[in-house]
Amino acid sequence: MKKIGILFGMEQSFPFAVNDYINQNRSKFVKSELITIKAQNIEDFYDYNVILDRASNDIPFYHSIMMQASLSNVKIVNNPFWNYPPDYFFNFSLAMKLGINVPRTAIIPSKENPLGTGPDSFRNLLYPLNWQEVFDYVGFPAIIKPNNSNSGINAFTVYNENEFFSAYDFTGSNAMILQEYIDFEKYFRIYVIGKKSYRMVDYDPRKPMHLRFSQEAPSIDSEIEKEIVKIAIKICSALGYDFNAVDIAIKDNKYYAMSFLNPVPLIERNLMRAEDFNWLVKTTGEYLVSLALEGKYIPSEYTWSHYLKGPKTPPKPTAKRRGRKPKEKIEESK
């Protein structure tokens, strides 16, 4: 019997729904269970074929265990060697290299010295910084936010230099990025599973959390949808993410990749349309089952060159956006 483990954090519905779906619909082939983690020693290895990791990107203790699990040829979704820590500056640079529009972005040093460093640690840093050069490149309004998602510091929208420096004073020892503010006309979130199957939803990050997901199917021209999905698939393939959400904004007929480091994207039953939630549960469950049935194997994708170059031929999208009937057969990533 093949085994699937699910690691989760603060989520209230999605991991449990995926676990139930697998056990209720595919129990002849696989068994799924919620993982129990203890203080681990180096001789302990998890006996799973696949683990859906929905927590280790925020918890270093879990992350170490996920990396150890991969030593016993467990397939981790997502790859723990690439998934942590996220570096937004690098990934926006990668997207630009792939020919994808992104907001103008600059990385700036931390306001305070990181733990364990002092003034002599920064002797290569040009000081004082040429802030005007940064402001001229990015422009205002702009967003100042952490360069990784684990800092606990929120993003700030700033409209001039004074507001920037006021926000900068609150950032402590976190490396930050300053990014062009895109006053978009439309904004979509595309969930991508297995680098092929996708689900598009209307999403507005400017609204309060409980109002961000639209309760209507996306209103979008089919040709525009194809282009947006192509961008999402290209990004996930280049990053090597098997499970991700890509946010695309449209402004003046240009597409901008706004956020695409979402290996644990928000999926909650009480926030989303039932059609979207159920599709994500079923597609995730079927994808995990397909990986489990392949059996354990030595992964070959843990190479930087693969991610930096991206695939020679991007995978063909297979699933449908919200508001359309999804295919019964879930195609698998090869």
Q: In this structure, are 109 and 71 located in the same domain?
A: no
For 128-176, write each residue's pLDDT tens digit.
Answer: 999 999 999 999 999 999 998 655 567 899 999 999 999 999 999 989 9
Domain boundary among 77, 95, 124: 77
Asked whether residue 289 is assigned to any structural domain, the reply reads no
Q: Which residue range(s) make up the domain with 15?
A: 2-77
- Residue 90 has φ and ψ, to the nearest 5°, of -60, -45
- Residue 325, pLDDT > 50, answer no
**Whether residue 261 has pLDDT greater than 90:** no
Reduced DSSP (H G I as helix, E B as strand, rest coil) percent helix, strand, coil of the chain, to 5:
30, 20, 50
pLDDT of residue 333: 37
Indicate the length of the chain as a whole number.
Answer: 334
The full 3-state SS of 101-166, as one line of letters, equals CCCCEEEECCCCCCCCCCHHHHCCCCCCCCHHHHHHHHCCCEEEEECCCCCCCCCEEECCHHHHHH
- Which position has the higher pLDDT, 315 or 209? 209
Picking from 152, 180, 208, the residue at the C-terminal end of a domain is 180
Q: What's the pTM value of the predicted model, to 2 decimals? A: 0.86
Q: Does a structural domain hold residue 135?
A: yes
Planar angle of CA 124, 106, 132, nearest 5 degrees? 80
Q: Give the pLDDT band (50/70/90) at residue 81.
A: confident
Q: Are 194 and 333 in contact (CB under 8 A)?
A: yes
Query: Taking 70 as the threshold, does the pLDDT of residue 305 lie above it?
Result: no
Domain boundary among 77, 96, 113: 77
CB 68 within 8 A of CB 42: yes
* Reported confidence tier of residue 324, pLDDT bands at 50, 70, 90: very low
pLDDT band at 307 (very low <50, low <70, confident <90, very high): low
